[in-house]
Amino acid sequence: MSEDGNYHDRDDICAAPIILAILSKTGNASNLVYYGYNDHFWLTDSSREAAMRVSTEQTATIWSGFNANAFFSVTANSATAVNALTGAINESTSANPLTIIAAGPMQVIGMALAQSNATARQFVTVISHSSWNDTHATSEGAAEGLTGTGYSFAMLGGLGANLVHIKDQNAGLARPYSEWFWLRDSSDSRLNWLWQRGQAAAKSDFDCSDAGMAYYLVTGDASASPAKLELLLGGSNPTPSPTATPTPSPSPSTTPKPTPTPSASPSSTPTATPTPRPTATPTPQPTPTPTVTPSATPTPTPAPSPTPSPTPSGEQAVTSFALVNADTNQPVAGYETLCDGAIVDLDALPACHLNIRANTNSSEIGSVRFAFDDDSSARVENVPPFALFGDVGGDYSGGRLQPGQHTLAATPFTQNWAGGVAGTTLAISFTVLDSGDTGFSNGSARSYVAPNGELISGFIIAGNQPKTVVLRALGSSLSRFGIHSGLADPTLELHDAAGALIAVNDNWRDSQQALFEQRGRFHSLCPPDNLEPAIAIQLQPGSYSAIVRGKNGGAGGVVAEMYDVSDNPKLANVSTRAAVAPNNVLIGGFVVQCHSRAGIILRALGPSLSSSGVTNVLSNPSIAVFNQQGYLVGYNEHWQENVQQAAKIARSGLAPSFAREPAMALNLPSGSYTAVVRGQDNSAGVALLDIYNVP
């Protein structure tokens, strides 16, 4: 194993424990002769180094069978690590080949190969799945401080190694946390540990993508998924079926596989001989089915039911699909049968959280496998109801149906986990529309206002129509929520983009008491305390700022809130500027509307505020995002560390000016979210939290 984790993406903090669990579970722990981690040795982050040490060496003690002397932190001594890998390469023979999983830049592997015995290199196979890892040392290494020759994946083949490049594993293994709850809920403490390390990685998804190469190594299957790993690692099904779980196909084996067929190498292919070291057998990858874009927007009405094809007598079959409201666990009216060619308009549905159930002709079915769009094994359900997004005892999980055309197929099997005999598959295509506005409908910010200080919250109204908004500042009433030392008497000002004062309020009853006390949408937004201010106002599209201060220079905690109460709510941006200290974080909240398809970009600015004349800025901010259940859905310290998100942020024009300022591009389902900004290493200073609704 050659793995980074100490810089750029944090996914290896999650992937390393999964990799070790796979090797231990399949009897291959003793075959691991080298595990180099923190191999981005020319530029590093000390906190991530420590996290990787826990994810590797501590996991090795929890999952038994590993040689502790095989683990090397490359940043601790890169020469020692390179020499150790060189020694393993030199011991390789046709009877004892070596497979290296490249879960980081190719630099350490290249350095070891370059100084190894040339005759031994033909017995070395390197597996990669990441184009970023393939070229990072050569494309970015010098700019980051790497000296000497940089190595790429292709250059390893030039040195004589055999190369195997499988498909990128992110699609299958960087999945929502909900798909990994079997780790959290297991009675096996070793699986609970894997869940904890996934949380420690602090990413928006549970991302163990590099572990797909280890799964491929021991099974030959390049399409790893949470369900497949659950089967391999022994995760328990919350509602077990009385049918015995069959051996999965292909079956993990303690017998090592033949050496993979190289994708490119000047050397001859080594003889495929079983050896004590596990290697991989590559398998052909399926060609994804292209998505067809409809030529015209169809009328959003359910399609009539076609006459189903007859099912042979006695054969198990999926007979129909139903669109289910996951909030009520009942079919959506008009979509009790989701037919081929159906049109689903999200904005016309009475539900935000949806699922799709496969109906069958038999109560003896062992499992149903779903294929959704280009994922041929999107989910396997062992217990009815058979639901595309899963359920727990009939309580359906809510999933997301993105606008566009989709294909769905479900196949019944006689045994669990798509085992035994396959029955009759039902396949349909349907189109999802969203005719309504998307985005978030309100925002809030919480921080501490120092004596004679202020909290500044900004927001942008998009579109070309005026919006009615309600702004309020809560201080003393926060004690009802366990937040004491609230700002006793806050004041609220509203300014336009030019800085002109539009409205001001000290106590909400001063000027708009009648409006707020009348029944309807305003009444629910009355501040709980008479000394707390509120403003209800109609605003034209544009940028605005709300400023909260303590009356007579007072100090205390405060929450500033912005609600779009118009008939068609949509805020394009909310932002908050405040002082951050070790015991005083900046908290921003926002609500994503039902069926929102818009993405969210969040960023926390510190150093770049200096150019606007702000002093005492937060030098090294971090940002974390939590959903309404309290689960972490995103974390970032440096906006460029996630390459895919960084590209989207850069295209949006919202990239921070400094690399050490955090930003995230997230695609969030409807619900309430909280963003928390704090200083790394307990630093203090002024920070700006921005939340943008982007296409």
Q: Whole-angstrom Cα distance, residue 603 to residue 645?
A: 12
pLDDT, mean of residues 346-364: 84
Indicate the pLDDT class of residue 570, thresholds 50, 70 and 90: low
Indicate the pLDDT class of residue 633, thresholds 50, 70 and 90: confident
pLDDT, mean of residues 650-660: 90
Lowest-pLDDT range of 168-182, 285-299, 440-454: 285-299
Domains located in the chain, CATH noted: 2-233 (no CATH), 318-433 (2.60.40.10), 436-575 (2.60.120.380), 581-695 (2.60.120)
Indicate the pLDDT class of residue 644, thresholds 50, 70 and 90: confident
- Helix boundaries (H) for 42-117: 46-53, 59-62, 78-90, 107-114
Q: Are 504 and 493 in contact (CB under 8 A)?
A: yes
The DSSP result for 323-391, as a single string, is EEETTTTEEPTT-SS--TTEEEEGGGSS-SSEEEEEEES-S---EEEEEETTEEEEEEE-SSSEETT-E
Lowest-pLDDT range of 104-118, 261-275, 420-434, 522-536: 261-275
Other C-beta atoms closer than 10 Å to the C-beta of 501 total 10
Is the pLDDT score of 582 beyond 70? yes
Of 561, 585, 614, the residue nearest 683 (C-alpha): 585
Using CA atoms, how far residue 33 sits from 74, 120, 383, in Å, is 15, 16, 41
pLDDT at 301: 41
pLDDT at 273: 34
Note the residue count of the chain.
695
Indicate the pLDDT class of residue 242, thresholds 50, 70 and 90: very low
User: Between 161 and 204, whose confidence is greater?
Assistant: 161
Of 129, 168, 106, 156, the residue nearest 265 (C-alpha): 156
Is the pLDDT score of 511 beyond 50? yes
pLDDT at 247: 32
Contacts for 229 with CB less than 8 Å, ≥ 6 apart: 18, 22, 173, 211, 215, 235
pLDDT at 64: 84
Indicate the pLDDT class of residue 695, thresholds 50, 70 and 90: low
Indicate the pLDDT class of residue 641, thresholds 50, 70 and 90: confident
Q: Which residue(s) pair with 574 in the sheet? A: 459, 691
Is the pLDDT score of 648 beyond 70? yes
Is the pLDDT score of 309 beyond 50? no
Q: Are 30 and 64 in contact (CB under 8 A)?
A: no
The rounded mean pLDDT for the chain is: 82
For the record, the structure tokens of 431 come out as 């189109």
Indicate the pLDDT class of residue 559, thresholds 50, 70 and 90: confident
How large is the C-alpha radius of gyration of the chain?
A: 28
pLDDT at 302: 43
Question: Which SS3 state, helix, strand or coil, does residue 431 take?
Answer: strand
pLDDT, mean of residues 30-55: 93
CA torsion through residues 275, 278, 280, 281, sign = positive
Contacts for 77 with CB less than 8 Å, ≥ 6 apart: none
Q: Are 511 and 503 in contact (CB under 8 A)?
A: no
For the record, the structure tokens of 608 come out as 């770049």
pLDDT, mean of residues 633-653: 87
For the record, the structure tokens of 357 come out as 């159930």
Q: Whole-angstrom Cα distance, residue 181 to residue 235?
A: 10
Contacts for 235 with CB less than 8 Å, ≥ 6 apart: 182, 183, 186, 188, 191, 229
Q: Are 39 and 105 in contact (CB under 8 A)?
A: yes
pLDDT at 416: 87
Q: Whole-angstrom Cα distance, residue 104 to residue 7?
A: 10
Q: Whole-angstrom Cα distance, residue 539 to residue 461?
A: 8
Other C-beta atoms closer than 10 Å to the C-beta of 623 total 25
For the record, the structure tokens of 89 come out as 């390469």
pLDDT at 90: 96
pLDDT at 159: 95
Q: Whole-angstrom Cα distance, residue 421 to residue 386?
A: 17
Percent over 70 (pLDDT), the chain: 83
Q: Whole-angstrom Cα distance, residue 353 to residue 399?
A: 6
User: Between 363 and 111, whose confidence is greater?
Assistant: 111
Q: Whole-angstrom Cα distance, residue 426 to residue 226?
A: 24
Question: Residues 393-429: pLDDT tens digits?
Answer: 888 887 778 778 899 999 999 998 888 999 999 999 9
CA atoms within 13 Å, Cβ hemisphere of 520: 8
Indicate the pLDDT class of residue 483, thresholds 50, 70 and 90: low
Lowest-pLDDT range of 147-151, 280-284, 367-371: 280-284
pLDDT at 254: 35
CA torsion through residues 172, 71, 122, 257, sign = negative
Q: Are 563 and 442 in contact (CB under 8 A)?
A: yes
For the record, the structure tokens of 161 come out as 């190694």
Cis previous bond, 250, omega within 30: yes
Question: Residues 2-30: pLDDT tens digits?
Answer: 999 999 888 999 999 999 999 999 889 99
Q: Whole-angstrom Cα distance, residue 173 to residue 180?
A: 10
**Beta strands at 342-345 and 426-433: parallel, antiparallel or unpaired:** parallel
For the record, the structure tokens of 240 come out as 């077990």
Is the pLDDT score of 690 beyond 50? yes
User: Between 272 and 514, whose confidence is greater?
Assistant: 514
User: Between 275 and 403, whose confidence is greater?
Assistant: 403
Cis previous bond, 294, omega within 30: no
Contacts for 634 with CB less than 8 Å, ≥ 6 apart: 203, 204, 602, 623, 624, 625, 664, 666
Q: Whole-angstrom Cα distance, residue 551 to residue 506?
A: 8
The residue type of 634 is G
pLDDT at 308: 46
Using CA atoms, how far residue 540 sits from 64, 172, 305, 617, in Å, is 64, 45, 47, 32
For the record, the structure tokens of 510 come out as 């001063």
For the record, the structure tokens of 209 come out as 């993508």
Q: Whole-angstrom Cα distance, residue 34 to residue 271?
A: 23
pLDDT at 160: 94
Lowest-pLDDT range of 35-49, 97-111, 120-134, 301-315: 301-315
Question: Residues 680-689: pLDDT tens digits?
Answer: 878 899 999 9
Lowest-pLDDT range of 156-165, 275-284, 461-470, 591-600: 275-284
pLDDT at 520: 54
pLDDT, mean of residues 550-576: 78
Q: Which range, 154-158, 326-330, 343-347, 526-530, has the best average confidence (pLDDT)?
A: 154-158
Indicate the pLDDT class of residue 287, thresholds 50, 70 and 90: very low
pLDDT, mean of residues 588-592: 81
pLDDT at 284: 39
Question: Which SS3 state, helix, strand or coil, does residue 626 take?
Answer: strand
Question: Residues 67-78: pLDDT tens digits?
Answer: 999 999 999 999
pLDDT, mean of residues 436-461: 75
pTM score above 0.75: no
Lowest-pLDDT range of 164-168, 422-426, 458-462: 458-462
